[in-house]
């Protein structure tokens, strides 16, 4: 959109993330549309790359009805992951480094050979080297976790951190695996991988298509987070979080007190 200072908007979001300080929604203030919001996202991530981070993957957002309802938007979106966002399985995060952190269980793919954008995936098994349970830590930079679709896209789809559990060969089916999210040993969310566009494999098609529309080709060796299988829950200081995905295993993180 003509007249939008994408670098300036990205700087506001970047400072909000770096200082864990919430800001007001930006879309109405600067009249962001979706294409321009992705331009802001690119500038926001470039700030991270300029300080030495590197791209390691892509994440999908709003791939379940639960997530759409939770945040009040209705379109699948995508964002970028950097190495600084990755937390080792079982590792610790500091909740005070974020504004209002939330966690959600996901399915992660380790990408291999991928088709060109616009070319359908002929064989999922050749495009994905392995699969794993995962946890995504999301943290909107907007006050009260409230935003429009362009707002959340500009904010790199609320990406903050992620954990990937042990990789394993891709099973025959991924479309209806049970998913649990546990906090301190108590089940707080129950879901199914069917919540991820009906089948997490469909998320990869969407990711290739949507990223390709903005000139980004997914790379071999990248992590692909297919989307949340349940609604997100707040991450409290001292909490131990575990995601359990049927047939795939577990991923976990700890929040410092």
Q: Where are the alpha helices (DSSP H) in 96-233?
A: 124-127, 149-154, 200-213
Is the overall model pTM greater than 0.85, yes or no? yes
What's the DSSP call for residue 171?
Answer: P
| Tokens 């080297």, residue located | 129
Does the pLDDT at position 74 exceed 90? no
What's the DSSP call for residue 147?
Answer: -
**Cβ atoms 211, 102 nearer than 8 A:** no
Question: What is the C-alpha separation between 12 and 225, in angstroms, rounded?
Answer: 26
pLDDT single digits (tens) 142-173:
999 989 899 999 999 999 999 999 999 988 88
Does the pLDDT at position 2 exceed 60? no
Q: What is the CA angle 165-169-173, rounded to 5? A: 100
Structure tokens at 126: 């050749």
Q: What are phi and psi of 227, to 5 degrees?
A: 130, 165
pLDDT single digits (tens) 189-236:
999 999 999 999 889 888 888 888 888 888 999 999 999 999 999 999
């Amino acid at each position: 959109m003509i007249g939008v200072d994408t670098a300036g908007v990205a700087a506001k979001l970047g400072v909000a993330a770096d200082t864990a300080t919430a800001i007001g929604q930006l879309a109405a203030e600067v009249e962001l549309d979706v294409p321009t919001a992705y331009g802001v996202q690119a500038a926001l991530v470039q700030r991270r790359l300029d300080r030495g981070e590197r791209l390691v993957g892509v994440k999908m957002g709003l791939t379940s009805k639960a997530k759409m309802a939770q945040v009040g938007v209705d379109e699948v979106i995508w964002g970028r992951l950097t190495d600084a966002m990755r937390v080792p399985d079982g590792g610790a995060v500091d909740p005070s480094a974020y504004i209002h952190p939330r966690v959600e269980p996901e399915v992660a793919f380790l990408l291999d050979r991928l088709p060109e954008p616009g070319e359908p995936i002929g064989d999922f098994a050749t495009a994905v080297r392995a699969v794993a349970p995962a946890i995504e830590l999301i943290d909107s930079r907007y006050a009260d976790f409230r935003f429009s679709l362009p707002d959340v896209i500009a904010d790199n789809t609320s990406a903050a951190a992620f954990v990937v559990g042990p990789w394993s060969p891709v099973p025959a089916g991924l479309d209806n695996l049970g998913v649990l999210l546990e906090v301190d040993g108590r089940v707080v969310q129950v879901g199914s991988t069917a919540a991820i566009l009906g089948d997490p494999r469909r998320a990869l098609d969407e990711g290739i298509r949507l990223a390709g529309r903005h000139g980004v080709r997914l790379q071999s060796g990248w992590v692909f987070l297919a989307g949340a299988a349940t609604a997100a829950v707040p991450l409290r200081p001292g909490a131990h979080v575990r995601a359990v995905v049927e047939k795939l295993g577990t991923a976990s993180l700890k929040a410092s007190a």
